[in-house]
Amino acid sequence: MSTHAQRERLLFADLLETVGPNAPTLCDGWKARDLAAHAVVRERRSDAAAGIVLKALAPRLERVQAEYAAKPYEELIQLIRTGPPRLSPYALKQVDEAANTVEFFVHTEDVRRAQPEWTPREPDPVFADALWARLERVARMLGRRSPVGLVLRLPDGRTAVAHRGTPVVTVTGGAGELTLFAFGRQSSARVELDGDENAVAKLREAKLGL
């Protein structure tokens, strides 16, 4: 049975193929080719991918990612489709599901929502629950730089506190939209923000996410 991560991986690869290497994305300064290179390096070059979270290693990551971005675009897409090498931690089904479900969902939307006339994607209930479960676990990490108190709320009333503080802004939306918001895609997430006007404005401009 296909996992959420496998499905999102293939959707991401298919979309990259459809839009072409020079299509815009929501990631500042990155076109589709750059985003594809990022996805490949993250899974296949752990020696460089550590630079995603460790600033001291960021220059190495940039060099390695530039090398991959220079590869044929079709090769990058095929590497995404086939997944990580056998010795990679991501090759383990449990790790793949835990680490890549949200990763590929967010990056697919990075491409989709940068295109003209995009429409919101409505995850099926099972996938929405999977996204919410992951968001609950990492909400505080994603919201740690919020300048205001931040509560994420589903339409059914379930909530996750992403940042404690005052004033508080409550962000309401579907699990997919809240995921995008918390990962720093505030401008494209279809959500409702409730709170002090100044606090809402600060939150919209905050650097959320990893």
Chain mean position to CA 177: 11
- Domain of residue 89, residue span: 4-112
Interval 30-58: pLDDT, tens: 999 999 999 998 888 777 666 566 677 67
Indicate whether 97 and 144 sit together in one domain: no
12/81 same-domain check: yes
Do both 95 and 19 map to the same domain? yes
Structure confidence at residue 1 as a pLDDT band (50, 70, 90): very low
Residue range 160-183, pLDDT digits in tens: 999 999 999 999 999 999 999 999
Considering the domain architecture, whether residues 64 and 147 belong to the same structural domain is answered as no
Q: Which of 65, 82, 112 is the last residue of a domain?
A: 112
Contact in structure between 100 and 5 (CB atoms under 8 Å): yes
Whether residue 160 lies inside any domain: the answer is yes
Give the CATH number, domain containing residue 198: 3.30.1050.20
CA distance 106 to 109: 5
Q: Is residue 13 part of a domain?
A: yes
- Is residue 108 located within the same domain as residue 130? no
Is residue 119 situated within a structural domain? no
Same-domain pairing of 88 and 25: yes
| Residue 41: inside a domain | yes
Burial of 182-202, coded b for 16+ CB within 10 Å and e otherwise, reads bbbbbebbebebebeeebbeb
Asked if residue 67 and residue 146 are part of one domain, the reply reads: no
Q: What angle do CA 7, 13, 19 make, to 5 degrees?
A: 130
Strand residues in 84-205 grouped as ranges (E) = 149-153, 159-163, 168-172, 192-194
Same domain, 38 and 79: yes
Q: Measured at the alpha carbon of residue 112, what is the angle toward residues 154 and 16, in degrees to the nearest 5?
A: 130
pLDDT in tens, 88-109: 888 888 888 988 999 999 999 9
**Share in percent of the chain as helix, strand, coil (round to 5):** 55, 10, 35
Same domain, 132 and 199: yes
pLDDT at 13: 97
Cα separation, 41 vs 46, whole angstroms: 7
8 located within any domain: yes
Domain boundary among 73, 89, 112: 112
Beta-bridge mates of residue 171: 152, 193
**Domain annotation covers residue 117:** no
Asked whether residue 87 falls in the same domain as residue 141, the answer is no
Banded pLDDT at 2 (limits 50, 70, 90):
low
- Is residue 45 a part of any domain in this protein? yes
Into how many domains does the chain fold? Answer: 2
The domain boundary residue, chosen from 58, 81, 112: 112
58 & 141 share domain: no
How many Å apart are CA 51 and CA 56, to the nearest integer?
7
Q: Tokens 């090498």 — which residue?
A: 85
Q: Do 83 and 147 fall into the same domain? A: no
- pTM, two decimals, is 0.91
157 occurs within a structural domain: yes
